[in-house]
Amino acid sequence: MDADTNKLKKMIERALADGRLSRQEDEDIKAAIAADNKVTEEEMKLYRELQQMVFEGDLKIDD
């Protein structure tokens, strides 16, 4: 796992800590993924897992 992916993973873990995902946290995560103008398979996997948690109701979205 490279440094960018590790940073992204830590961002996601902080967002998950309270069981809620704010719109700002989601935007920050997406910005971190796009920051280097390339999206790795690992970054997409992490983001898909985050989305899956929202879809399954394990993670609530805050406004």
1: pLDDT strictly greater than 90: no
E strand segments, the chain: 20-22, 60-62
pLDDT of residue 25: 95
Mean pLDDT (the chain, rounded): 93
Model confidence, pTM: 0.88
Domain-wise residue ranges, the chain? 3-62
Closest CA to 2 of 33, 47, 48: 33
* Cβ atoms < 10 Å from Cβ of 33: 19
Structure-token match 């992204």, residue found: 8
pLDDT of residue 63: 74
Q: Read off the pLDDT of residues 2-29 as tens digits, 9 standing for 90 and up.
A: 888 999 999 999 999 999 999 999 999 9
39: pLDDT strictly greater than 90: yes
